[in-house]
Amino acid sequence: MSLRFSAAFFRHAVAAQIACVVGAMLFAALYPPARGKMILIPIWPGAERGMLALAIDEHALLIGQGPLSNSFVVFGERSAIAAGMLRRGVLVLAAPPAACGERGRLA
């Protein structure tokens, strides 16, 4: 009985460790840069209203539309943009080149 428990526990522990590593890699890949290209993704209904105006007020430069509905890619300072966006229901992520239409170039 204890051998079966140990095997089941080991399988769950390995799965949890793999999930943590994958989560950490996603977090590192999508965490917005201190200064650079970021994608603004509204997550609440109506969050896109005023999103660009707020970003521009915080000295962000509009680069273009993002890959998702109502999302936009901007260039700016994370510290200036992120806090106001999160309060309005807008997620701020790093703009990876593959997701933002830039093939073969680094963001």
Per-residue pLDDT of 33-84, as tens digits, reads: 889 999 999 998 888 898 999 999 999 999 999 888 899 999 999 999 988 8
Give the pLDDT band of residue 86 (cuts 50, 70, 90): confident
Distance CA 39, CA 75 (A): 9
Distance CA 7, CA 65 (A): 49
How does the average pLDDT of the chain come out, rounded?
82
Distance CA 75, CA 70 (A): 17
In three-state secondary structure terms, 52 is: helix
